[in-house]
Chain A
Amino acid sequence: MKKKKNNDEEIASVRKRKRSREDWIVDGFAYGMAAILVIAIILPFMQVITVSMSPASVVNATGFHLFPTKFDFSGYKKIATDNNFWHSYLNTILRAVIGTSSGVLITIMTAYPLSKVNLPYRKGLMLFVVFTMYFSGGMIPKYLLIKNLHLTNNFLVYILPCLITGFALIITRNFFMSIPGELEESAKIDGATPWRVLFGIYLPLSKPVVATISLWYCVHHWNSWMDNMLYVTKSNLYVLQYVLQTILTNGQTADMETMTDVIIHTETMKMAALVLSLLPIVCTYPFLQKYFVKGMLVGSVKG
């Protein structure tokens, strides 16, 4: 007993001795840098939130605006009455739901055959997909194509051109390839078709990867605005980020239909709109974070 205690003390003293000056420097540097990073990321958000809920007198005063001193929610109230804003919010939710569900469906349907090693022409098909990840037609040919397909000013332009991505497809395929083939063999002996195998066996086993790619597609849809800017001019089809952009850059949104109400956006209103657009991301973020990270790691495994 005593011996053991001695031994422990010895180890402890070794540990203590080992905490050299180098350790202190490395630790200090690591913790310090991490803390600086965290602060640098949080500060701009704090300022935006503070400005969004402050009265004009405070906003126009020079000085730090990192913590709210006086509260005034008139910015939020004014945004709440802006129908364009809420309409675009609805459009974005709609495109996120439709775009994500159809995207995930097509992704797994394409990934499953490509995960079959003995499928003829599989290599060629993979090359066909991978090539699009490194070479593209560019903005103008795509714009002309969409115009020729009569997708401009059509809700489908938010769904079809960004239906699936090569990266998500390859990750899903890799995941499918890691599922043991015996499951499929036995189901086939029982007479299951590939469709049944995919939706009855593979899909229930693929929850992690489905969650990951759904989140990617969903974030893409929530954040996209370029397709709106390029292909849509009808204001009732506008999406949130595009409306937000016009609010931020022009400081006003005109009601295109009537051209009567021009809503002037003050600094507080701009920031209130920003906060409102961030709200769904920030609220769901803590719960979904692990899926994002997991997906990123699945993805780093070479395809």
Chain B
Amino acid sequence: MTAVTAKGKPVKKGFLYNMSHYKEYYIMLIPGILFFLVFCYGPMYGLVIAFQNYYPLKGISGSPFVGLKHFKALFNDPFFVSVLKNTLIISFYKLLICFPAPIILSLILNEIKCMPFKKFAQSISYLPHFVSWVVVSGIIIEFLSPSRGPINILLQNLGFESIFFVAEPKCFRGVLVLSDLWKSIGWGSIVYLAAVTAVDPTLYEAAEMDGAGRIKKIIHVTLPALAPIITVMLIMESGKILNDSFEQVYNFLTPSTYSVGDVISTFVYRMGIQKMQYSFTTAVDLFKNTISFILVILTNYVARKTNDYALW
């Protein structure tokens, strides 16, 4: 009898009891936990050098503490301010164009009733996702070449000068945004397409009864069904506003486009790895990561308050 009540209630057991009782499970966890501890939390501990004058030979324990010196230097650094501006502008364009594009694509694909064509379009659109940014930049730069690129040839045929898009500061951000779109639109649509196909067909029938045409059905049935997943994706995306894509920008960036295309991560790479200003660039990283983290928490909070869909 007592055993049953003891089993019915969750009983708090001591640490040692837990460890010995679930020993094999915890042993299984060791390599994974060790990985996260060393390669994810290790660098987080390394963030303290943002508050130090770090000397590689002295290490973290031996380097002098300087407080917020590097953060003050950060905002007085004209390069950093322009880099921050570039990052924000590029992210804003990406959010404006690359975020809604997969949603629209999923709506478009949902309207296509010819299955072979739909499957074909999907397969083709997913392909660039599996190609590295090194290769994508190679392909795009070739495609935009002033002498061989189809766009430039069309421009020439229409009587304009051909443009070296990748090296032209005016077009560079456009190249970044559109190449990101080219790479990610198809893959991004998968999640939305799954949500679209999960919509209860009776909802469409009911809408049809009420005289809704296809556009009305998209607006009043499909889009509301997508709202939760759009919210979740938007929260995840908000964390990336400062987390520019190093892999992308680095492969397109040339000194002629630094003024418009140099972003936080490429700046950190140049100043940190190449010029060895470790403490200063760590301060940049800490600043960036903290803002990103706060943004995710904040958008999640707002999403939870305004509607019921949130990440956690």
Contact = CB atoms under 8 A, between A and B. Distances in A.
A212 interface: no
B31 A194 contact: no
Contacts of B126: 289, 292-293
B190 interface: yes
The main secondary structure of chain B at its interface with chain A is helix
B135 interface: yes
A281 B117 CA distance: 22
Contacts of A244: 134-135, 138
Interface in B148-206: 148-150, 153, 156, 182, 185-187, 190-191, 194
B108 interface: yes
Contact of A194 (B24, B118, B278): B24
A195 interface: yes
Contacts of A264: none
B213 A22 contact: yes
A274 B32 contact: no
The main secondary structure of chain A at its interface with chain B is helix
B26 A113 contact: yes
B272 interface: yes
Given A138-B285, A226-B247, A296-B191, A42 B124 contact: yes
Given A106-B32, A144-B46, A225-B132, A34 B109 contact: yes
A139 B273 contact: yes
Contacts of B143: 43-44, 47-48
Interface string B19-38: 00010111011011101101
Contact of B32 (A110, A135, A271): A110
A34 B117 contact: yes
Q: For this complex, into which size category does the number of interface residues on chain B fall?
A: 35 or more
A59 B46 CA distance: 50
Contacts of A51: 142, 148
Contacts of B120: 38
26 contacts: A22-B213, A34-B121, A37-B105, A37-B125, A38-B121, A41-B124, A42-B124, A44-B140, A44-B143, A47-B142, A48-B138, A110-B31, A136-B44, A137-B40, A137-B43, A139-B272, A194-B24, A195-B24, A223-B134, A224-B132, A242-B134, A244-B134, A248-B134, A248-B137, A289-B123, A300-B229
Interface of B: 13, 18, 22, 24-26, 28-29, 31-33, 35-36, 38-47, 49, 54, 56, 59, 105, 108-109, 111-112, 114, 117-118, 120-121, 123-128, 130-135, 137-143, 147-150, 153, 156, 182, 185-187, 190-191, 194, 213-215, 229, 232, 239, 246-247, 251, 265, 268-269, 272-273, 278, 281-282, 285-286, 288-289, 292-293, 296, 311
Interface of A: 20, 22-23, 26-27, 29-31, 33-35, 37-38, 40-45, 47-48, 51, 59-60, 62-66, 106-107, 109-110, 112-114, 116, 119-121, 125, 128-129, 132, 134-145, 147-149, 160-161, 163-164, 166, 169, 193-195, 198, 219, 222-226, 230, 241-242, 244-245, 248, 270-271, 274, 277-278, 281-282, 285-286, 289, 292-293, 296-297, 300, 302
